[in-house]
Amino acid sequence: MAAAASASGLTVHCPGGSHHVVRSAAGAKISIPAHRPIKAIYIKKLIRLIQTGKGDNE
């Protein structure tokens, strides 16, 4: 998911905890758990952030 986010121009921040934070240039962000397997809801959130620029709180 980090590769897809980076390829789409998003910034991926991995603070070393249990989640990764993906942020758009406009400041919208989503939090994705670092453990695997990645659930479908988080993939849908990433696609939404890429397509619309809207994060979790929008």
What confidence score (pLDDT) does residue 28 get? 94
Question: For 7-54, what is each residue's pLDDT tens digit?
Answer: 999 999 998 889 999 999 999 999 999 988 999 999 999 999 999 999
Domain limits for position 11: 2-52
Residue 40: CB partners within 8 Å, gap ≥ 6?
Answer: none
> For residue 47, what are its two tokens?
């696609």
> For residue 12, what are its two tokens?
């991926």
CB 13 within 8 A of CB 21: yes
What confidence score (pLDDT) does residue 16 get? 83
* 6 belongs to a structural domain: yes
Pairwise CA distance, residues 54 & 11, whole Å = 14
Q: How many domains does the chain have?
A: 1
Task: Output 50 or 58, whichever has higher pLDDT.
Answer: 50
Distance (Å) of CA 32 to CA 1, 20, 58: 9, 5, 16
Residue found under tokens 């590769």: 3
What confidence score (pLDDT) does residue 44 get? 94
* 42 belongs to a structural domain: yes
